[in-house]
Amino acid sequence: MNKKYSMSYETFLKNFKLHISKLGFKNSIQKDYILKILFFSDEHLTAEDISNNIKKEYNIDVGIATVYRTVKFFDEINIINSLDVGDNVKRYELKISEHHDHLVCTSCHKIIEFSDDLIEEKQKNIAKDNNFELKNHTMIIYGLCEDCH
């Protein structure tokens, strides 16, 4: 079991296959490998990272165009988060962990995940005070990490 998630990869993959089947889509071995790389990664990965990690870990070549199409599909069916930290490069993570926000170093682009119940409550209150129905949010705080300041 991955330390970030409360389920095994096998359970996650089974649920994913059932989900896309219900949506009328087909699965592929490439999707399985991309999911596996994302599931076991502790980092926010670019499409190039995903492609390179599949090659390194499993000795299988999944073309970069396939990775881009697949992460676009995953984004459309709402199972991944994409994150641009200000360098015009999208990074990806699965959406199956607890909600969290991000600190991003503007020098080295290191990403630190954090959760704060007070911030979450404040955002809900701001939405309510403005008669706004909050569906989702992304918070990114930019600054310098410990190594760069």
- 61 annotated binding-site participant: no
| HEC string for 105-133 | ECCCCCEEEECCHHHHHHHHHHHHHCCCC
pLDDT tens sequence across 98-129: 778 899 999 998 899 898 999 999 999 999 99
pLDDT higher than 80, residue 82: yes
Strands 80-84 and 101-105: unpaired
- 108 annotated binding-site participant: yes
- 120 annotated binding-site participant: yes
- 147 annotated binding-site participant: no
Residue among 95, 96, 79 at smallest CA distance from 5: 96
pLDDT confidence tier of residue 2, bands split at 50, 70 and 90:
very low
pLDDT confidence tier of residue 5, bands split at 50, 70 and 90:
low
Q: Which fold has domain 1-96?
A: Arc Repressor Mutant, subunit A (1.10.10)
- 148 annotated binding-site participant: yes
Write down the domain spans for the chain.
Answer: 1-96, 98-149
SS3 141: strand
Give the homologous superfamily in CATH for domain 98-149. Ferric-uptake regulator, C-terminal dimerisarion domain (3.30.1490.190)
DSSP state of 85: -
- 105 annotated binding-site participant: yes
pLDDT higher than 50, residue 45: yes
